[in-house]
Amino acid sequence: GAVVSQHPSRVICKSGTSVKIECRSLDFQATTMFWYRQFPKQSLMLMATSNEGSKATYEQGVEKDKFLINHASLTLSTLTVTSAHPEDSSFYICSARDARKNTEAFFGQGTRLTVV
Amino acid sequence: DAKTTQPNSMESNEEEPVHLPCNHSTISGTDYIHWYRQLPSQGPEYVIHGLTSNVNNRMASLAIAEDRKSSTLILHRATLRDAAVYYCILRDRNNAGNMLTFGGGTRLMVKP
Residue A69 to chain B, least CA–CA distance (Å):
16
Taking CB atoms and an 8 Å cutoff, what residues of chain B touch A97? 96-97
Mean pLDDT, chain B, as a whole number?
Answer: 93
Which H or E run contains A86? none
Quote the CA–CA distance of A104 and B111 in Å, as a whole number. 30
Give residue B68's pLDDT.
Answer: 96
How big is chain B, counted in residues? 112
Average confidence (pLDDT) over A19-29? 94
Q: B97: how many CB neighbours lie within 10 A of its CB?
A: 14
Give residue B2's pLDDT.
Answer: 65
**Is residue A76 over pLDDT 60?**
yes
Give residue A31's pLDDT.
Answer: 86
Nearest to B93 among A4, A91, A102 (CB): A102
CA-based R_g, chain B, Å: 13
Bridge partners, A111 (sequence order): A92
- B43 to chain A, any CB pair closer than 8 A? The answer is yes
Give residue A52's pLDDT.
Answer: 87
Size of interface A-B (CB pairs under 8 A): 49
**Is residue A39 over pLDDT 90?**
yes
pLDDT tier for residue A72 given thresholds of 50, 70 and 90: confident
- Nearest Cα neighbor of A28 from A109, A94, A105 is A105
- Nearest Cα neighbor of A38 from B84, B99, B68, B41 is B41
**Is-contact B74 B54, C-beta < 8 A?**
no
Give residue A102's pLDDT.
Answer: 64
- The DSSP code for B102 is P
Query: Residues B45-84: pLDDT tens digits?
Result: 999 999 999 999 999 999 999 999 999 999 999 999 999 9
Distance of CA A24 to the CA centre of its chain: 10
Give residue A1's pLDDT.
Answer: 59
* Residue B71: φ, ψ to 5°: -150, 165
Subunit contact B43:A6, Cβ cutoff 8 A: yes
